[in-house]
Amino acid sequence: MALNFRLSSRQLALLASAVLASMVLWQLAGLLWLGLTPSQAGRSLRLPAAAPAAQQQDPNLIARLFSGPASSVASEASSNLKLKALVSGANGVAIIEGLEASAVAVKLGQEAGSHGKLVAAERDHIVLELNGQRRKVFLEQQSIAPQANTGNTNSTIPTQSTTTASAAPATTLTRGQLTGILQGGNLANWSKGLATHASGGIAVEAASQQALASVLQLRDGDIIKSVNGRNLAKLEDLSLLYAAFSQQSAVSVQIVRAGEAQTLSYTVNP
């Protein structure tokens, strides 16, 4: 037996209202759920961020963090550098070996290659500054003060004549004159006109070509044997001569002139 369901108009209206109400409630429930649940928007699979590139660190900066004030002076000498000669003072000049193929002259305030700037020229050392750090470079030979005559100087001076000429009056020089000589540039000019003598000492071969010979009133044929008692055996010992004039206000130079031993005296003013 077939069942026949028939709904009245009123029943259909109530059913439609119920369905509509259910849909509205469903939408409201969905909106409420979205409001109470944390947003999932924007979530996606991401690769880890790349690590920042390593930056090149300045070793000098790191060293300064663990060192004293920037103006402090290192006690150790700068490696690979040799101070061959020096004129101290406000217009100081240094002859430095190790910067180029041959020794060169560096004026106060100039750069000494990769070793920094020459910021001070003292009586027995210079000060170089690099990246806020200062270091000293000392003269190779510092013991050049006047020495007492021990009576053994005849061993370094030819004995062709037993008569030693009396010392001439002292010649007055200024360190500015020596500075001008050192500013010539390199050892090619620094020792021009001079040579090592066969019997020991520094021979003046061409005084007109050597500014130092003119300042010290040396002549062709003179042999410089010692300065303030320090023997000068070869041309390279010329640095001792410059060092003496840089450090001392009274300098005594022993020479052989025309076979006779002579002493030349100098007074050095600032």
CATH of the domain at 93: 2.30.30.830
Sorting pLDDT into bands at 50, 70 and 90, what band is 18? confident
DSSP 3-state assignment of 81? coil
Verify that 80 and 168 share a domain, yes or no: no
Last residue of some domain: 91, 108, 138? 138
Q: Are the C-beta atoms of residues 265 and 169 closer than 8 Å to each other?
A: yes
Verify that 264 and 157 share a domain, yes or no: yes
In this prediction, residue 150 carries a pLDDT of: 40
Q: Are the C-beta atoms of residues 118 and 109 closer than 8 Å to each other?
A: yes
Residue 20 lies in a domain: no
Q: Across the chain, what does the average pLDDT equal?
A: 74
Verify that 123 and 159 share a domain, yes or no: no
**Centroid of chain to Cα 150:** 41
The whole domain housing 133 covers 62-138
Residue 249 lies in a domain: yes
Mean pLDDT across the stretch 71-99?
71
Verify that 172 and 259 share a domain, yes or no: yes
Verify that 95 and 196 share a domain, yes or no: no
Number of domains in the chain: 2
Residue 112 lies in a domain: yes
Q: Is the pLDDT of residue 203 over 90?
A: yes
The listed range with the strongest mean pLDDT (117-126, 240-249, 258-267) is 258-267
Residue 200 token pair: 């020991």
Which of 128, 129, 113, 118 is closest to 90 using CA atoms? 118
Q: Residue type for 108, please?
A: L
Verify that 192 and 234 share a domain, yes or no: yes
Verify that 200 and 128 share a domain, yes or no: no
Residue 251 lies in a domain: yes
Cα-based angle 110, 270, 118 (whole degrees, multiple of 5): 15
Residue 25 lies in a domain: no
Mean pLDDT across the stretch 170-181?
79
In this prediction, residue 4 carries a pLDDT of: 56
Verify that 84 and 133 share a domain, yes or no: yes
Verify that 168 and 251 share a domain, yes or no: yes
In this prediction, residue 159 carries a pLDDT of: 38
Residue 38 lies in a domain: no
pLDDT tens-digit map of 206-256: 998 888 888 899 999 999 999 999 999 998 888 788 778 877 889 999 999
CATH of the domain at 179: 2.30.42.10
Residue 39 lies in a domain: no
pLDDT tens-digit map of 42-84: 555 555 566 555 555 454 443 443 344 444 444 444 568 888 7
Verify that 117 and 215 share a domain, yes or no: no
In this prediction, residue 224 carries a pLDDT of: 96
Rounded percentage of the chain residues whose pLDDT exceeds 70:
67
Last residue of some domain: 138, 161, 184? 138
Verify that 131 and 157 share a domain, yes or no: no
Last residue of some domain: 93, 110, 138? 138
Verify that 165 and 213 share a domain, yes or no: yes
Among the residue ranges 28-37, 145-154, 225-234, the one predicted with the least confidence is 145-154
145: Cβ–Cβ under 8 A, 6 or more apart, which residues?
228, 247, 248
Residue 42 lies in a domain: no
For residue 128, report the phi and psi dihedrals to the nearest 5 degrees: -110, 140
